[in-house]
Structure 1
């Protein structure tokens, strides 16, 4: 039996993989800032579906709400940077470079949440940086 996280993580992998590719084509037709506006429309559609699945009663907790809003700001700011990057760079190189973002997540988990970094994870980080170096040079 598969772990419960495999299916949603696989969906994320596919969605983010396609998400990283489509902006290269999008920015051939419209400016990255215009593309961001339409991406937000897409986000509103998904958010509306999720809100309806919650019977229009999302959890209310001030800390959780502020953190979620900050997460949205970071996500959209990163997406805007990605749009500008793929407009002028190779989508494969930009996607590979930005795929190092989990290294920041891992470091924050270690610093803030005191989650240990195993030897295997440390070697993986080094390998990821080496792969990006070879891929982008």
Structure 2
């Protein structure tokens, strides 16, 4: 799992950086459409390589996965406009706080509990964004 985590870290680091390069020449909506195309190509290759079992899944089981893709692309579009208007050194750390939203949702809907150390981590994450974004 460590290797996959490290790869995700590197890939997502590139994912957050590359749009700023694209926005040097393209409007956000144009860059977004090319990113959607890139995602579709990646999805096609993943489908061909992984060969997932699609039969037997009920719609209520598929909806969270579909919503995940939709939220990912909507978040990306918002990110594109944010980095066009704002500084990358502020926007990237701010949007990187999304796990805090995930934690809160998990606590509310999945009844997950966090301990005091995890709570302190959330507070430190919030403080870190303030410090990183300080001008």
TM-score by length of 2: 0.91
Equivalent position SS for 1:115:
coil
Q: Which residue of 2 aligns with 1:80?
A: 77
Asked if the contact 1:51–1:58 (Cα under 8 Å) also holds between the matched residues in 2, the reply is no
Q: 1:92 aligns with which of 89, 94, 105?
A: 89
The Cα shift of 1:13 comes to 0.7
Question: May I ask how many residue pairs the two structures share in their alignment?
Answer: 133
The Cα shift of 1:83 comes to 0.4
Q: Which residue of 2 aligns with 1:67?
A: 64
The Cα shift of 1:136 comes to 2.1
Give the CA RMSD over aligned residues. 1.5
Equivalent position SS for 2:121:
helix
Q: Deviating runs (4+, > 4 A) in structure 1?
A: none
Task: List aligned pairs for 1:113-124, cutoff 5 A.
Answer: 113-124=110-121
Structure 1 residue runs of 5 or longer lacking an equivalent are none
Q: 1:20 aligns with which of 16, 26, 29?
A: 16
Q: Which residue of 1 aligns with 2:3?
A: 7
| 2-structure distance, mates of 1:34, 1:110 | 37
Q: Which residue of 1 aligns with 2:43?
A: 47
| 2-structure distance, mates of 1:116, 1:67 | 22
Q: Which residue of 2 aligns with 1:112?
A: 109
Q: Deviations over 1:8-48 (max 9, x none)?
A: 22111111111111111111110111111001111111111
Asked if the contact 2:19–2:80 (Cα under 8 Å) also holds between the matched residues in 1, the reply is yes
| 2-structure distance, mates of 1:54, 1:21 | 28
